[in-house]
Amino acid sequence: MREDYTNQLASINEGLVSMADLVGKAIRGATDALLEDDLAIAEQVIAGDERINELNAEVEEMSARIAALQAPVATDLRLVMGAIRMATSLERMGDLAVHIAKQVRLRYPNPSIPAELKDTFSQMGEAASQIVAQTGEVISSRDTTLADNMKKYDDALDRLHRELFTVVLSENWSHGVEAAIDVTLLSRFYERFGDHAVSVARRVIHIVTGEPYAK
């Protein structure tokens, strides 16, 4: 029974790590599709989201089963309850990658972003890819010191998002209103992606330390 229980807890963690892994692939794919106007990659990202949604449901089911059968306490209980919130955040991160990919599909064969913003979005994609890789690391290692490291990527995403506004609102912006709205929404998707990654890491800290969850 105990061995079984330990395996079940490990399965929840593996589910979350798999989700982080797939979400990392999704945001890298979405960024590649965006930078290279690549419809095939965009379609892969969109289709790949189903597996992330399935894992989300699996994590919830496993958590419910353990809560019902094993009456976990302390750290284990926090893991079981926290896993549901983490899975929700990871699933939402997958959705954000899909939003980016769908924007590529919507504008294809036209480019989704003007050439002068490619570098900004490349940096956003890099920061988002790094932050979700760290999220996966924090979940699997429970090494809460790694969470500090994530702040720098989240700050980078916030800064890039602010900088993009300056570009779009400058006198030199020559791409019109629609392109301005497009790139602002795209940028917001990356920024929200970072926020969710940070909230997952904070959840792990709460599980490990038992300290109140800092929103």
Which residues bind to its own copies, rule: CB under 8 A? 53, 57, 60, 63-64, 67-69, 71-73, 77-78, 80-81, 84-85, 88, 165, 168-169, 173, 177-178, 180-181, 184-185, 188, 212-213, 215
Residue (10 or 57) nearer to its own copies, CB:
57
Q: What's the min distance (Å) between Cβ of 115 and its own copies?
A: 18
Coarse DSSP helix, strand, coil percentages of the chain, rounded to the nearest 5 percent: 85, 0, 15
3-class state of residue 143 by DSSP: coil
The angle at the Cα of 129, spanning 126 to 133, to the nearest 5 degrees, equals 140
Q: Which is nearer to its own copies, 1 or 68 (CB)?
A: 68
Give dist(CA 177, CA 166) in Å, integer: 14
The residue among 82 and 133 lying less far from its own copies, judged by its C-beta, is 82
Q: Are 97 and 23 in contact (CB under 8 A)?
A: yes
- Residues 97, 91: Cα–Cα separation, whole Å: 10
Q: Please, is 172 exposed, middle or buried when counting C-beta atoms within 10 Å of its C-beta (0-12, 13-18, 19+)?
A: exposed
Q: How far apart are CA 200 and CA 206, in angstroms?
A: 10
CA angle at residue 26 from 78 to 208, to 5 degrees?
A: 15
> Measured from the CB atom, is 88 or 123 closer to its own copies?
88
Rounded CA gap, 63 and 84, in Å? 7
Closest distance to its own copies from the beta carbon of 97 (Å): 16
Cα diameter, the chain? 68
CB 215, min distance to its own copies, A: 6
Between 133 and 190, whose beta carbon lies closer to its own copies?
Answer: 190
- Decide whether 53 or 123 has the Cβ nearer to its own copies: 53
